[in-house]
Amino acid sequence: MAQLRQEYHQFITLDTEIIVVGPEGQSAFQKYFTQEQLPFIGIPDPGHVVLKLFGQEVSIFKLGRLPAQVIIDKHGIVRYVHYGKSMADIPKNEEIIEIIKDLNQHVI
CB-based contacts of 46, cutoff 8 Å, min separation 6: 23, 24, 25
What CATH number did the domain enclosing 84 receive?
Answer: 3.40.30.10
Range of the domain at 12: 2-106
- Mean pLDDT along residues 62-90: 83
Please tell me the pTM assigned to this model: 0.79
CA–CA distance, 70 with 34 (Å, rounded to integer): 24
pLDDT tens column, 29-69 = 899 889 989 999 888 988 888 887 887 766 666 566 778 89
Number of domains present in the structure of the chain? 1
Helices then strands (H, E): number in the chain? 5, 6
* 8 Å CB contact between 26 and 44: yes
